Amino acid sequence: MTSASASAATILVVDDHAMFREALRMLLETDPTLRVVGEAGDGRDAIRLASELRPDLILLDLRMPGTSGLQALREIARITPPIRTLLLTAEVGESDVVEALRLGAKGVVMKESLPEVLFESIHTVLAGQYWVGRDCVADLIRTVRERRSHADVEPRDPALGLTARERQVVAAIVVGCSNADIAQKFSISAKTVKHHLTKVFDKLGVSNRLELALFAVRRRFDAERFYDS
């Protein structure tokens, strides 16, 4: 084994389609910083291999026969030290994403994504961050808004106890902007965006962008008003 392969991040691929697993392995191994160390065709094998191999990252499909991806994730979440898990799926519902994040998943990427998006999501999660693509965030927020229009249970909180700039940043997150988008929109640096997000996370008691967006929608935060201000 070369020093490069020895230092590569290890990945366990979990999907019930063998041809997809093989194609994914070949794609991932075009990146010398990644190394696929195992494959599982169902949730039960995923749990076993996660415990045996202790990979740096698990790429996990949700829709599998027998033990589902969410069921596997519940068990994998009990392994210590924790193993980072990224959902790689063809379709996913808002409730599944929220539940997966609650169980410890670090993000979701769609199978239809371009290879560069897949690699970016993997490296983002390996770096200890969350990956939830902007389109996914927008879909989730739209779903939650539709539900809230029928049954609002949280009090309206148009300001969330935040400063004017923090409200603008939250509004941008709710409409699906990236940090670069936010920086350009409000003519501030990317570093300043990160600083504002850190302050917002601390104030609202959330830990990632998706939780922040859902929190804002539950409080009926008027994102369009602050985004355009």
Q: What confidence score (pLDDT) does residue 107 get?
A: 83
pLDDT tens sequence across 84-129: 999 888 876 667 777 787 788 888 888 888 888 899 889 988 988 7
Tens digit of pLDDT for each residue in 152-183?
444 455 667 889 899 889 888 877 778 888 89
Exposed, middle or buried: residue 31 (CB in 10 Å: 0-12, 13-18, 19+)? Answer: middle
- How far apart are the C-alpha atoms of 170 and 84, rounded to whole Å? 26
Query: What is the per-residue pLDDT for 140?
Result: 56
Q: Mean pLDDT, to the nearest integer, of 38-49?
A: 94
How many residues does the structure list for the chain?
Answer: 229
CA–CA separation, 162 vs 171, rounded Å? 11
Q: Which pLDDT score is estimated for 191?
A: 93
**Residues near 197 by beta carbon (within 8 Å), at least 6 away in sequence:** 169, 173, 179, 209, 212
What does the pLDDT read at residue 153? 47
Q: Closest Cα to residue 223, out of 178, 167, 145?
A: 167
What number of other Cβ atoms are within 10 A of residue 57's Cβ?
20
CATH classification number, 137-227, choose in 3.40.50.2300, 3.90.550.10, 3.20.20.80, 3.40.605.10? 3.40.50.2300
- Residue ranges of alpha helices (H) inside 159-205 are 164-174, 179-186, 190-204
At residue 30, does pLDDT exceed 80? Answer: yes
pTM of the predicted structure, to 2 decimals: 0.63
Residues of the chain with CATH 3.40.50.2300: 3-132, 137-227
Distance of alpha carbon 222 from alpha carbon 229, whole angstroms:
11
Helix/strand number for the chain, H first, E second? 12, 6
Q: Rounded mean pLDDT of 34-43?
A: 94
Helix (H) / strand (E) element for 132: namely strand 131-132
Q: Which tokens in the block code for residue 123?
A: 């490296």
Cis bond leading into 81, ω under 30°?
Answer: yes
CATH (one of 1.20.1250.20, 2.20.28.270, 3.40.50.720, 3.40.50.2300) for 3-132? 3.40.50.2300
